[in-house]
Amino acid sequence: MAKDESAQRMEKIVSLCKRRGFIFQSSEIYGGINGFWDYGPLGVELKRNLKDFWWKRNVRERDDMVGMDGAIIMNRAVWKASGHEETFSDPMSDCRVCNTRHRADQLPERDGKPYCPHCGAANMTEPRAFNLMLKSYAGPVENDDNLVYLRPETAQAMFVQFRNILDTSRQKLPFGIAQIGKAFRNEINPRNYIFRSREFEQMEIEYFCRPEDGLKLTDYWLEERLRFYEDIGIPRSKIRINDIPDGDRAFYSKKTYDLEYEFPFGVSELEGVAYRTDYDLSKHIEHSGKPLDYYDEVTKERFVPHVVEPSAGADRTALALLCEAFDEETVTDDKGKSEIRTVMRFHPRMAPIKCGVFPLLKNKPALVEAARSIIASLRADMNVFYDESGAIGRRYRRQDEAGTPFCVTVDFDTVGENGPEKAGTVTLRHRDSMLQERVAITDLKALLLEKIR
């Protein structure tokens, strides 16, 4: 896609997200705040579907995984031990002309020299390390003793609770701990919409294993994760696997794959699958003096488990879902009039609303009553939406923009006004093909559930 076309596509996605209530700027009425976003009624459903499916796939459906939900604020000693306090930084460079600050490794270059993306001057300071952890104070006194960090990743809670979880869950190696939660990074330049923000959500797994299994389990998790993306509607062909070469990986990692998605603004990281060896547990053993090792009852060995970490961003995946779903097509009506149809082609599993239900006319109590009763019968199993205003075509278009895969229209046939043959049936309209079929109300729930699970 040409650069202009990609930028235009991104603009259209951002504008649809605001117009339809997927995503808003945080604190918008006060001018917003850079790097923070709010999810609106449709966005929160999309993100919840994503997190719920991740949890179902990675925790509920497996015997070898357990979940946890750690606190955002942890003892500062955790971040000293993990190395974050010392080294969790990005290189920062200031423009000496306009005084703006930038990520030094993302500066554009002219004649081999970096220049300021804000004013264009090639007069930048030497890069220096900028720690990305957001600080606060726990307790009434703002001093160094009370300094705390908002976690920059969820992972550390799973390492420091390793012993408790091992003892209480009675898992045997290999097994994993999974967690979904907020993380915070004081990014120097938040950008690309929700792709790089200062507050975001991660979906992380720490999969503990014997040292000799680490490499093959890294490949196993790469495959698992690709299958997951496929199952939420992001095909493998859209994901680039970046096998990070020696020298570019963290020093303790023996293998790292970055999974990158073709966003309109460029191919960028969705998730990292990293074999982190025994680095994290060993560091916490060293700093806490606590026994975070493992005793293998069969081989009678005691050792520090190795770990494979698939670490995904919920917001980046939600953005990938939005980008993948967005489509515009020209449609022509019965009278030969053409128009652009904007449609979000979410996988039914991810779609914020699963089914729209419409009475053909709002001033016919029998139709309204039948539509309301369908809504009531579906509500416990899926998110449904009742709409009685405007022409049916317009109601379909509104649901196309929301990405609703199915719409049901209740008409005079449904309520038996045109004879008994079609009584108890409705029109089921499919978002992608726009095809309509007649189905019995009694079959509706099973039919929809089959598609959305």
Binding-site ranges for ligand ATP (CB under 6 A): 153, 185, 187, 196-197, 200, 202, 269-272, 311-313, 315-316
**CB of residue 185 vs ligand ATP: minimum separation in angstroms?**
5
Rounded Cα distance between 356 and 234, Å, is: 24
| Shorter beta-carbon distance to ligand ATP: residue 158 or 384 | 158
| Shorter beta-carbon distance to ligand ATP: residue 214 or 272 | 272
Cβ-closest position to ligand ATP? 313
| Shorter beta-carbon distance to ligand ATP: residue 16 or 270 | 270
**CB of residue 194 vs ligand ATP: minimum separation in angstroms?**
7
**CB of residue 154 vs ligand ATP: minimum separation in angstroms?**
9
Query: In the block, which residue shows the tokens 């494979």?
Result: 308
Q: Are 371 and 386 in contact (CB under 8 A)?
A: yes
| Shorter beta-carbon distance to ligand ATP: residue 5 or 231 | 231
**CB of residue 180 vs ligand ATP: minimum separation in angstroms?**
12
How crowded is residue 341: how many other Cβ atoms within 10 Å of its Cβ? Answer: 15
**CB of residue 57 vs ligand ATP: minimum separation in angstroms?**
17
Hey, what are 60's tokens?
């509920």
**CB of residue 231 vs ligand ATP: minimum separation in angstroms?**
18
What single-letter amino acid sits at 305? P
How crowded is residue 316: how many other Cβ atoms within 10 Å of its Cβ? Answer: 23
**CB of residue 153 vs ligand ATP: minimum separation in angstroms?**
6
Give the 3-state DSSP-derived string for the chain, with helices as H, strands as E and coil as C: CCHHHHHHHHHHHHHHHHHHCCEEECCHHHCCCCCCEEECHHHHHHHHHHHHHHHHHHHHCCCCEEECCCCCECCHHHHHHHCHHHHCEEEEEEECCCCCEEEHHHCCEECCEECCCCCCCCCECCCEEEECCEEEECCCCCCHHHEEEECCCCHHHHHHCHHHHHHHHCCCCCEEEEEEEEEECCCCCCECCCCECCEEEEEEEEEEECHHHHHHHHHHHHHHHHHHHHHCCCCHHHEEEEECCCCCCCCCCCEEEEEEEEECCEEEEEEEEEECCCHHHHHHHHHHCCCCCEEECCCCEEECCEEEEEEEEHHHHHHHHHHHHEEEEEEECCCCCEEEEEEECCCCCCCCCCEEEEECCCCCHHHHHHHHHHHHHHCCCCCEEECCCCCHHHHHHHHHHHCCCEEEEECCCCCCCCCCCCCCEEEEEECCCCCEEEEEHHHHHHHHHHHHC
Q: Are 287 and 309 in contact (CB under 8 A)?
A: no
| Shorter beta-carbon distance to ligand ATP: residue 196 or 347 | 196
| Shorter beta-carbon distance to ligand ATP: residue 180 or 217 | 180
| Shorter beta-carbon distance to ligand ATP: residue 313 or 348 | 313
| Shorter beta-carbon distance to ligand ATP: residue 197 or 414 | 197
**CB of residue 196 vs ligand ATP: minimum separation in angstroms?**
4
| Shorter beta-carbon distance to ligand ATP: residue 132 or 368 | 132
CA distances from 287 to 79, 81, 277, 307, 434 (A): 11, 6, 18, 19, 61
**CB of residue 183 vs ligand ATP: minimum separation in angstroms?**
7
| Shorter beta-carbon distance to ligand ATP: residue 58 or 197 | 197
| Shorter beta-carbon distance to ligand ATP: residue 134 or 392 | 134
**CB of residue 271 vs ligand ATP: minimum separation in angstroms?**
5
**CB of residue 155 vs ligand ATP: minimum separation in angstroms?**
9
